[in-house]
Structure 1
Amino acid sequence: MEYGISLLSYVALRAETSDRAEIVTHMLFGECYEVVARQDNWVCVQLASDNYKGWIDYKQHNPVTVAYYQEWKAAQHPRVLEVLQVVSKEDVRIQVGLGAYLPFLEGTQFRVGEERYTYNGLASDPAAELVPEKVVEVAYNFLRSPYLWGGKSVFGIDCSGFTQQVFGVCGYQLPRDAYQQVACGEEVHFANQTKPGDLAFFANSEGRVTHVGIMLDGQRIMHAHGEVRIDTLDHNGIYNSDLKRYTHQLRIIKRIF
């Protein structure tokens, strides 16, 4: 088996072996993966964080040993807490964004394979208790981020990428897609009983969960719809005051804490 780690700010994982193919998700700096297939100049990888698969250009593949991969997967790692920062090694400087991984961070040093990198910004504490206040605080860093199918960064993010990254920065790993995330947590039975940090899920006309957002106070919800925005929620769903209509039909509300 072969393993790797991302040393780029963001790497698109595609559905097929083409630069024109659909982006299914993104890989962040410091995120480990397993190589599951190769085809021409493409490598199919499976992310260690959420087991999501996709194709990357072979030039973006950075190998690590099986020992490092297993160590990475067994640990919880600090994440970048600032919208944009820099990691460095000798004369190399790499731009990293909110949510990037800092494997085995000690002080200002973290380890990628046998190499040491320096990071001087704010980082999350993966051992900290998951609390609603922290989830909401992190979520506000993504406000007004543009919607991007498959995105996981402040420069482009989709609805489940938004919820996954917010909770991930706070130390809780959600699955990648909304229909997978809905299996987490305990049900909140009424919209007027929501608390900040709850996840609200929405279904299409066939009843399939296709959208998710994070509840704030006052029955407000933050979600990625065109951009990461704040709307209101009632028992019918999300009401968009700009459009003056409901945009999403409520399916269920879950409490993760």
Structure 2
Amino acid sequence: MLSVVPMRAETSDRAEIVTQLTFGECYEVVGRDNNWLQLQLAADGYRGWIDFKQHTPVSAEYYKEWCGTRHARVLDLLQTVKVGEYNVPVGIGCYLPFYDGSSIRINEERMEFKGSASDSHAMSTQADLLRVAHYFMKAPYLWGGKSIFGIDCSGFTQLVFGICGYQLPRDAYQQVTYGEEVHFVAQAKPGDLAYFSNAEGKITHVGLVLEGQKIMHAHGEVRIDTLDHNGIYNADRKRYSHNLRIIKRIYL
């Protein structure tokens, strides 16, 4: 039970990090190669490899129960869960399985948690979404990252929506298939997702639309830039950084 574990594209510590496994998440082990386990995450179906030493087994009964439950998430930037005699750091967005207001449960063990937790049943407004998003401001960019200490563009949007109770897929090209298209930037509302493409037309970036034709996205850091019909304009560099492809609206 660790705060964050890298999931890699291949069975090597040098391999690309494709995403991260965060505290409280459940997964299936779908493959093994020597000291590496291939996982499939229960929440979004994403696959990657982890070092077997970072594996926490759970029972089949627990896994089934976990998958059938909507779990609270950590709402503080950084908190701890008391596991035995140790305090494990947990960041915003980490799962709190079977949270009862003071403790969580993993397998049959209850663990103390005294921080702030999201109630995804209640956090379903545009204001909630934007409030959660602003917690991530200045978080550094990390390819494959999914935590406050390193996050990529789609990890950012997935975590923000997840804390508010809506499960998005992991990557931007997968997320773009969700929601209803908004045809013009002028019609975009705070909380919409804007997607951006490369020269080949592939969706490679996503950000969260704010008031006043602004956008919050992970690019070097989680930051706010200007959005128009061309794309994202970075005032610091005085140039466009991303080309707009489409805007989608998701109803929580």
Return the TM-score normalized by structure 1.
0.96
Shift of 1:90: 3.4
Aligned twin of 2:46: 52
Shift of 1:222: 0.2
Aligned twin of 1:135: 129
1:199 aligns with 2:222: no
CA distance in 2, matches of 1:83, 1:252: 31
1:179 aligns with 2:162: no
Identity rate of aligned residues, in percent? 64
1:162 aligns with 2:156: yes
Matches within 5 A, 1:45-194: 45-194=39-188
Which one of 232, 249, 254 corresponds to residue 248 of structure 2?
254
Cα deviations by residue, 1:83-121 (Å, 9 ceiling, x for unpaired): 000110331210100001000111201110010001001
Q: Which amino acid aligns with 1:20?
A: R
Which one of 5, 16, 33 corresponds to residue 39 of structure 1?
33
Q: Which amino acid aligns with 1:195?
A: K
Shift of 1:126: 2.1
Cα deviations by residue, 1:172-213 (Å, 9 ceiling, x for unpaired): 100000000001110111101111100000011111111000
Q: Which amino acid aligns with 1:43?
A: L
Unaligned runs of 5+ in 2: none
1:59 is paired with a residue whose SS is: helix
Aligned twin of 2:202: 208
Aligned twin of 1:3: none
Q: Which amino acid aligns with 2:121?
A: A
1:218 is paired with a residue whose SS is: helix
1:134 is paired with a residue whose SS is: helix
Cα deviations by residue, 1:208-235 (Å, 9 ceiling, x for unpaired): 1110000110010000111111001011
Cα deviations by residue, 1:31-78 (Å, 9 ceiling, x for unpaired): 000000111111110000100011101011111111100110111100
Shift of 1:129: 4.7
CA distance in 2, matches of 1:145, 1:109: 28
Displaced runs of 4 or more, over 6 A? none
Shift of 1:127: 1.3
CA distance in 1, matches of 2:180, 2:101: 37
Unaligned runs of 5+ in 1: 1-6
Return the TM-score normalized by structure 2.
0.98
1:30 aligns with 2:24: yes
Q: Which amino acid aligns with 2:102?
A: T
CA distance in 1, matches of 2:223, 2:121: 29
Aligned in 2, Cα 1:129/1:96: closer, same or farther, shift over 3 Å? closer
Stretch moving more, 120-129 or 39-48: 120-129
